[in-house]
Amino acid sequence: MAELKHFYETFQPKHYDVYIDIDREKKLISGKTTITGAAQAQEISVHQKYLKVSAVQAGNQDVPFTTDDQADTIRITLPAAGDVTVAITYTAPLTDTMMGIYPSYYQLNGEKKQLIGTQFETNAARQAFPCVDEPEAKATFDLAIKFDEHPGETIISNMPEKSEKDGVHYFATTVRMSTYLIAFAFGEMQSKLTKTKSGVEIGVFATKAHQANELDFALDIAKRAIEFYEDFYQTPYPLPHSYQLALPDFSAGAMENWGLVTYREALLLLDPDNTALDTKQLVATVITHELAHQWFGDLVTMKWWDDLWLNESFANMMEYVSVDALQPDWHIWETFQTSEAPAALQRDATDGVQSVHVDVEDPAEIDSLFDGAIVYAKGARLLVMVRALIGDDALRAGLKNYFAAHQYGNATGADLWSALGAASGLDIGAIMHSWLDQPGYPVVTAAVKDGQLTLSQKQFFIGEGQDVGRQWQIPLNSNYDAAPAIMKEKEVVLGDYAKLRAAAGKPFRVNVGNNSHFIVKYDDTLMQDILTHTDELDDIAKLQLLQDLRLLADGRQISYATLVPLLPRFADSHAAVVNTALYRVASNLKRFVTPDSPEENQLKAFYNQLSADQLARLGWTPKAHESNDDQLTRPFILSAALYGKNGAAIAAAHDLFKANADKLASLPADIRFYVLANEVHDFGSADLVDELVAAYRETTDGSYKGDLRAAVTQTPDKALLAKLIGLFKDPDTVKPQDLRSWFYGILANHHGEQAAWDWLRNNWQWLEEKVGGDMEFTTYITVVANVFRTRERLNEFKAFFEPKLNTPGLTREIQMDTKVIASRVDLIEAEKDAVNAAVAKEIQ
C-alpha cells in the first residue's frame, strides 16, 4: 500500500533536470534527477518505484534519506525548509510490464528488434525517475537521454531535440506539465511529417516493419484534428509538434502524452486500400480523443485523480464532435449511439457500479477507476446532455475561458461548470451533480393513470439492487410540450392524456434523440400507440425502442419473450443503427438455448429467417459506392446467416476462401473475418489453423491480425483449442497486450469454455505478475462475466474470485460481475421456456 498523503503539500517542484541512461542489453536504467523546488518542511518525500537510490544531495551536499518500497517513496531530510535543489542518483531495472520505460518487441525481416517507449499514466513516471508523481505537481522538464545507440536509430520526446553531445540527446525545456504526460521513445523508426495551417509539425511514427502507406490515414486525421481543435477551443496548440507513435507492445488503447501520443499499432496504422469503414472510424476517434486531451487534460489537468472523468469524459465526447466535423459523411454520432450509449446503460445498471466522480487515494484503486463504460462512455453521455442543453456557442465560449483561466495549471469539475455556467446562464453544476456523484440512472415510467399522463422516475437495476431513493434532474426531451424541460420530481402529471394525444397528433415519447442518460418504460397504452406508428419513427428512435426494451428485459421488468415478435418488424431496415440494436437483442436470445439442442436449431432457423432478405439484397461482396449503412450492416447479416446455417451463405463463404486461398489478406476487410471463421468452423483442419496462426505472426496489418485471431478461436476441435491455449505464454505469437482477446475468443466458444476457464484459474498468479500492475487487469474478470450463464459456472466463479475480494483494485469488479452472472442465470432459468416458445411461434 502506498502512502495516501499528497507529497505536493510539502514539496512543490518547479523544474526537473532528468538524465537517463538506458542499457537495453543489460536491461538497466541509470539516472540522475535534479529537482528545483520549494520545500515546506525539512522532511520531504518524492515518489519512486523499483529505484535503487545511491545518493541524495541537497545543494551539492549528501543528505540523509530512506527509501520505502511499500509506500513508493524516498524520504529526504533537508538541511532546512525553503527553496532547494535536490539531486537523486539511482539505477532501475528495465522491465517488460508495459509500464514505465519498457521495450516493445517486433520482427523485421526475421530479425528480432526492440523499440523503447514509455507509459507513465497513472503512476509509473516514478519507475523512470524520482518525482512528485501527482497531476497537480506541474513543473518544467529538461530531458537528457542516452542509450546503447546503433546507427539508424531515432529518439523522440514531448519536445524537439535541441542538441546531441557524447551520445546524450538533449531536449528543449518543456512547458509546465504533469509527470504522467512525459514520454520518449527510441529505436529504428519510420515517419511521415506535415504541418498544420498554424505551423505545428504533425508526425506519425512506426517501426519499419510497416508499409509506409499505413501511416497516411493517421497523418491526415491528426493534422486536421489539431486544426479543428485550435479553432473549436479558440486556443492555440501549445507545443511545436504533435507526434503520434505506434508501439508494438501497448497495454491501453492510446495515451495522450503531451506532444508525443502513443498508440497500439492497430489503433493508429491501417492499410488505406483495404480497411473496413468501422475500423477507420475507430482509428479516427482514437486519434481525435488523444488530441482533444492535448488541451483538455494536458494544458489543463485534473487536480487529482478523483476528477479523472473530467479528462476522459470530455475527450470521449470531443472525439465524436471532431470526427463529425472532419468526416461529416460518416454520421459518427450514430456510432456513439451504438457503442457508448449501450455500454454505459448496461454497466451503469448493476448495483455497486462506481459513480463518474469518485473519491480515491490508493494508487491501485486509481487504476481501477478507468472503467470504460462509466468514466468514458457514461461521462461522455452526460457531457452530450450538457452540450444539448447549452448549445455549441456557449460550450466554446465557456471552454475558451476555462483554458485561459487554468492553462498550465489544474482544475476541478466545479471549475468547468462555473465556466460553462457563466457562458450559458444555466446552473450546470446543480443539474450535473445528480448525475456525476450518484451511480446508476433512472427508468422513467410513462403511464396513463386515471386518464392522466404521468411520468415517474426510479433507479433502474439489472440484477439485485438496493433502492436508496436516488433521484436525478432529467432533461426529458419530450415531443409533447406539456412535459417539463427538466424533471426534478419523483413524479409529474402532464395532464389529460386523451386531450394531449389529440392535440399532438402523434404518440407520446420522451428522450427524443436518445441523448439523455435514462431509459423509458411506456405502459401498454402508450407502447401500443408507438408500435402502431413505427413508420413514423426515425432510425435512432427505432434503435432506442429496441435498446430500452432489451434493458427492461434484462432488468426483469418485461419478458424477453415479448421482444421476439418485434424483431421481424425491423429486420429489413437499411439503417446500421437499427440492425446493431436488433442483432444485439437477437444475440441475447442465444443465452436461452443449450448449444446443439433442438431449441438452438430453432433459434438458428429464426436467425436465417431474419437475415435472408438482407442477405439477398447485400450479398457477400461489398459493392463500389455502396452506402455507409450497407457497409456497416453487412457484417450483422453475414454473421446471422452463418449462425442460421444458411446453406447458400456457407457455400459462398467457402468459395470466397478457395478463390483467395493464396492471398487471404486481400479479401475485403469488411467480410474477411466471416470468410475465415466459416472456413475454420465448417471446413477446418489442423493445417488450416496452423496456417492462419502463422499468418497472424507474420502480418503487421492490425485489422487482419484481429480477423485471424477471432477466426481461429472459432474452431470446434478441442485438441486445436488446447494447442491455441498453449500459445498464451508465447509472446512471439500472442503478445501480452492481445492475450485477453485470445482468451475471450476461446472462452466464448462453447467447445473451449472449460479449457479457457481452467487456464485462467491455473494461471491467475502468472497473469497477475504479467499484467497486474496495469489498468487492463480487471477486464479479465469482466470478460468471464460476459460469457458465463449457468448456475454451476456462477458457483465456480464465486469459489475462485471471492477469496480475491480484498485484492486492491479488484473488489468492485468481482462484486459487480458476480451480480451480472447471477442475474443472467436467474433470467435464463425463469424465462427459458417462454423465450423458446416465442421463437418457435415465429418460425414459418
**Closest listed residue to residue 829, CA positions, set 578, 592, 627:** 592
Residue whose CB is less far from Zn ion, 137 or 286: 286
Examine residue 73 and say whether the peptide bond preceding it is cis (omega within 30 degrees of 0): no
Query: Which residues neighbour 172 within 8 Å (Cβ) at sequence distance 6 or greater?
Result: 159, 160, 161, 162, 240
Amino acid identity for residue 518 in this structure: F
Residue 737 CB, shortest distance to Zn ion, in Å, is: 17
Q: How far apart are CA 757 and CA 770, in angstroms?
A: 18
Residue 633 CB, shortest distance to Zn ion, in Å, is: 30
Q: How far apart are CA 258 and CA 294, in angstroms?
A: 6
Residue 312 CB, shortest distance to Zn ion, in Å, is: 5
Amino acid identity for residue 191 in this structure: S
Query: Which residues neighbour 119 within 8 Å (Cβ) at sequence distance 6 or greater?
Result: 98, 99, 100, 102, 250, 251, 252, 255, 262
Choose the catalytic residue: 214, 265, 290, 831: 290
Residue whose CB is less far from Zn ion, 65 or 309: 309
Residue whose CB is less far from Zn ion, 262 or 580: 262
Element of type H or E holding 140: strand 140-147
Residue 371 CB, shortest distance to Zn ion, in Å, is: 13
Interface characters, 596-635, with Zn ion (x: CB under 5 A): ----------------------------------------
Residue whose CB is less far from Zn ion, 312 or 813: 312
DSSP letters of 363-409? HHHHHTT--IIIIIIIHHHHHHHHHHHHHHHHHHHHHHHHHHHHTTE
Residue 239 CB, shortest distance to Zn ion, in Å, is: 18
- For the question of residue 599 being annotated catalytic, the response is no
**Closest listed residue to residue 498, CA positions, set 534, 456, 450, 444:** 450
Residue 311 CB, shortest distance to Zn ion, in Å, is: 6
Among 84, 315, 385, 692, binds Zn ion (CB under 5 A): 315
Residue whose CB is less far from Zn ion, 316 or 350: 316
What burial class does residue 740 get, using C-beta atoms within 10 Å of its C-beta: 0-12 exposed, 13-18 middle, 19+ buried?
middle
Q: How far apart are CA 569 and CA 590, in angstroms?
A: 19
Alpha helices by DSSP H, 294-361: 308-326, 332-335, 341-347
Q: How many CB atoms lie within 10 A of CB 498?
A: 11
Strand pairing class (474-475; 486-487): antiparallel
The one-character DSSP state at 33 is E
Residue 301 CB, shortest distance to Zn ion, in Å, is: 12
The upper half-sphere exposure of residue 668, i.e. CA atoms within 13 Å in the direction of its Cβ, equals 15
Residue whose CB is less far from Zn ion, 218 or 721: 218
Asked if residues 375 and 313 have their Cβ atoms less than 8 Å apart, the reply is yes
Amino acid identity for residue 635 in this structure: P
Applying CB under 5 A, what is the total number of residues that bind Zn ion? 2
Residue whose CB is less far from Zn ion, 98 or 487: 98
Q: What backbone torsions phi and psi does residue 184 show, to the nearest 5 degrees?
A: -155, 165
Residue whose CB is less far from Zn ion, 181 or 638: 181
Sign of CA dihedral 556, 558, 562, 566: negative
Which residue's CB comes closest to Zn ion? 315
Interface characters, 516-545, with Zn ion (x: CB under 5 A): ------------------------------
Q: How far apart are CA 353 and CA 462, in angstroms?
A: 11
Residue whose CB is less far from Zn ion, 380 or 615: 380
Asked if residues 789 and 828 have their Cβ atoms less than 8 Å apart, the reply is yes
Interface characters, 275-314, with Zn ion (x: CB under 5 A): -------------------------------------x--
Residue 256 CB, shortest distance to Zn ion, in Å, is: 6
Asked if residues 248 and 735 have their Cβ atoms less than 8 Å apart, the reply is yes
Residue 315 CB, shortest distance to Zn ion, in Å, is: 4
Scanning the structure block, which residue is given the C-alpha cell 389529460? 496
Scanning the structure block, which residue is given the C-alpha cell 529518439? 155
Residue whose CB is less far from Zn ion, 298 or 312: 312
Q: How many helices (H) and strands (E) does the chain have?
A: 28, 28
Residue 181 CB, shortest distance to Zn ion, in Å, is: 12
CA angle 782–785–786, rounded 5-degree value: 90
Q: Is 724 in the site for Zn ion (CB under 5 A)?
A: no
**Closest listed residue to residue 553, CA positions, set 439, 640, 460:** 460
Residue 157 CB, shortest distance to Zn ion, in Å, is: 20
Residues that bind Zn ion (CB under 5 A): 312, 315
Instruction: Report, as residue numbers or ranges, the catalytic residues.
Output: 290
